[in-house]
Structure 1
Amino acid sequence: MMGPVLAACLLIILSTAWISQANGATCKKDGGVCTCNDQTKNVDCSYKELTAIPSNIPTDTDRLLLGSNKLSSLSAKAFHSLSSLTFLDLSYNQLQTLPAGVFDELKNLENLRIQQNQLQALPVGVFDHLVSLDKLVLSDNQLKYLPPKVFDSLTKITYLGLGNNKLQRLPNGVFDKLTSLNGLHLLNNQLRRVPEGAFDYLSSLSLVTLQSNPWDCSCRDILYLSNWIREKKGTVSNIEAAECDGGTKAVLEITEEEAAEDCVYPNTTTAIPTTIITTLASSNDDDIPELPVPQENFQKFLGYQEPDHLPTQPQCLMSISGYLGLMMFFVLISAAILYVIHFLKKA
């Protein structure tokens, strides 16, 4: 009598195992998730509506294409077994953040494309191990700031795309180590100035896009950029397109008399949320006011959110006892059914 039940259970188990194997069969020629080329070591997983990176990607893969999917997050070890990668495409996804250490094993990577995502910030040191990187494309995201020294390890990079973001300010010395850089795209951000000496070490530059930024030509800080554009005009392409906020004048035409103000800009290079709720315990001057960071904001910054409701300790105990009682109930019912079946067989 238990034969059909066991058969059904076995069928479910086998079906689940088959589905798991099919999902994991990344590079098999029998209809796996991705298309693979054994000769070129190319794995193409693009346009598959993936929400997670497929398993079993061959460890000797050279080019991995994951663009135009629905990836919203990555595991910190997503690429740790793919140290042979030279090309990684994550463009046109829904990534909101990058976990620290996600690229740490990709020492041979030469081309990294993360454009057209929803990145708002970059972890400190996220590119530190990409010592062979030649091209980095971060354009068309929502980046508001860059961590200090975020590009310092990319000494071989020749192309850096940061256009179409929301950058308000650049950290001091952020490009100082990029002496091989040929192309730098900063167009369509919210930059009002660049730090003094921002481009001084970029001796290999041939193209810089600076247009569509609200350059503040009333402040002395703009004079470095204006003088640099004037000096490099004719040798670095496109720099003359930079215009003052409102489009009234080109940045290279600004004079010292026009840029007379000493402006102070807020620090926008920090990653920590600055929203603070001030709570005064009492009006006594001796009391120290508390300045707590809202927990929900802090958790969102860390990429973690608590459930809407966490039960208290008595509620937890009640829940546990309830589950145990329910399990005991089902055990007793099962025993009773088996006893009845046994009794009927004897009768």
Structure 2
Amino acid sequence: MMGPVLAACLLIILSTAWISQANGALCKKDGGVCTCNDKTKSVDCSGKMLTAIPINIPTDTDNLKLDYNKLSSLPRTAFHNLKELTYLNLDTNQLQTLPEGVFDHLVNLDKLYLQYNELKSLPSGIFDKLTKLTDLTLSQNKLQSLPKGVFDKLTELKTLEIRNNQLQRVPDGVFDSLLNLNTLDLNDNPWDCSCRDILYLSNWIREKKGTVSNIEAAECDGGTKAVLEITEEEAAEDCVYPNTTTAIPTTIITTLASSNDDDIPELPVPQENFQKFLGYQEPDHLPTQPQCLMSISGYLGLMMSLVLTSAAILYVIHFLKKA
């Protein structure tokens, strides 16, 4: 009779292992890696080396921490069942893009933290449904531009942090809807103060000086001057920004266009720079080799668990028939 007993034990162990792997992000009480607090409706998945959004997060969760993980992408529906969320922390991951609509169901969200990622751009309308948001951090990313109207719906926003990105300018009117804003961190961006586009930001800082903190410290690229001190005479150029490249004064373009082709010397342009000028960028969403290997090993582990579980079941049935 020891055969069936051992087989039954093996079946239980394998089943538990399979369930744990399949539901790896459930709360610890369910065999997962995250910590859940039913009283505060909070789920803490911080620092768990997660490469995917946890599954089966309770739908009534109010506070969700996903910071200090290895998330490189988010499914568009990642948070669509979490309509009660008021706090979402995605700091210190490897996010390069945000899918359109990923936050659309978080209509009660109050605080959203996205700093210390690798975000290069934001989709248009990404924050439009977050009308109750009061805190938004986008610092320590690689943002090279902001979509026009990106903050228009955030009328309750009080704190906005976009320091340490790669912003040279902001769209005209981008901060005009933020009537409750009291803190805005613009530091450590390469603000291009030679182009006319900087005048909106310069005038806005002068207007809000004393009512919105931190804005006066914003400096032109190179730290030569504060943005609020720029005059129309200094920002005289109408500049174009082909995608994410350095601004090129239109006066230069006009001069080149009006010149005789024979007078223009041929200059060697590296192919890489030329592609960047045209807005071409290498795909940045392809999975890295370690990520692929991790995904493959995960699937193989799951399949092995299923095979072993099936074998254990057949083993039990075999001994039960003999008995």
Give the stretch that moved more between structures: 225-234 or 17-26.
Answer: 17-26
Matched AA of 1:214 = P
Matched AA of 2:10 = I
* TM-score calculated relative to the size of structure 1: 0.66
* Equivalent in the alignment of 2:217: 241
Of residues 62, 70, 84, the one that matches 1:94 is: 70
Distance 1:32 1:152, change over 3 A: closer
Distance 1:26 1:148, change over 3 A: closer
Q: Offset at 1:36?
A: 5.0
Query: In the TM superposition, what are the counterparts of 1:128-277 in structure 2 within 5 Å?
Result: 128-267=104-243
Distance 1:7 1:70, change over 3 A: same
The structure that is helix-richer by fraction is 2
Query: In the TM superposition, what are the counterparts of 1:21-40 in structure 2 within 5 Å?
Result: 26-28=27-29, 37-38=37-38, 40=39
Deviations 1:149-184 (A, max 9, x none): 000001110010000000000000000010100000
Deviations 1:83-108 (A, max 9, x none): 21111000010100111111111111
Between the aligned partners of 2:184 and 2:212, the Cα distance in structure 1 is 7
SS for the counterpart of 2:240 is coil
Q: Is the 8 A contact 2:201 2:227 kept in 1?
A: yes
Between the aligned partners of 2:75 and 2:18, the Cα distance in structure 1 is 26
Of residues 39, 43, 48, the one that matches 1:64 is: 43
Unaligned runs of 5+ in 1: 42-61, 269-274, 279-292, 308-347
Between the aligned partners of 2:76 and 2:36, the Cα distance in structure 1 is 29
Matched AA of 1:12 = L
* Equivalent in the alignment of 2:99: 123
Matched AA of 2:43 = L
Q: Offset at 1:13?
A: 1.9
Q: Which has the higher contact order (CA 8 A, sep 6+)?
A: 2
Between the aligned partners of 1:306 and 1:91, the Cα distance in structure 2 is 22
Of residues 10, 13, 22, the one that matches 1:15 is: 13
Q: Offset at 1:14?
A: 3.2
Between the aligned partners of 2:106 and 2:98, the Cα distance in structure 1 is 15
Matched AA of 2:46 = G
How many residues matched? 255
* TM-score calculated relative to the size of structure 2: 0.71
Matched AA of 1:115 = D
Between the aligned partners of 1:28 and 1:74, the Cα distance in structure 2 is 18
Distance 1:297 1:218, change over 3 A: closer
Q: Offset at 1:74?
A: 2.3
Unaligned runs of 5+ in 2: 245-271, 294-323
Q: Is the 8 A contact 2:34 2:44 kept in 1?
A: no
Distance 1:116 1:264, change over 3 A: same
Identity of aligned residues (%): 55
SS for the counterpart of 1:300 is coil
Q: Offset at 1:220?
A: 0.1
Between the aligned partners of 2:135 and 2:179, the Cα distance in structure 1 is 13
Q: Offset at 1:73?
A: 1.7
Between the aligned partners of 1:299 and 1:139, the Cα distance in structure 2 is 19
Q: Offset at 1:69?
A: 1.1
Between the aligned partners of 1:200 and 1:35, the Cα distance in structure 2 is 40
Distance 1:65 1:256, change over 3 A: same
Of residues 50, 53, 74, the one that matches 1:74 is: 53
Q: Is the 8 A contact 2:128 2:150 kept in 1?
A: yes
Between the aligned partners of 1:210 and 1:218, the Cα distance in structure 2 is 18
Which structure has the larger Rg over C-alpha atoms?
A: 1
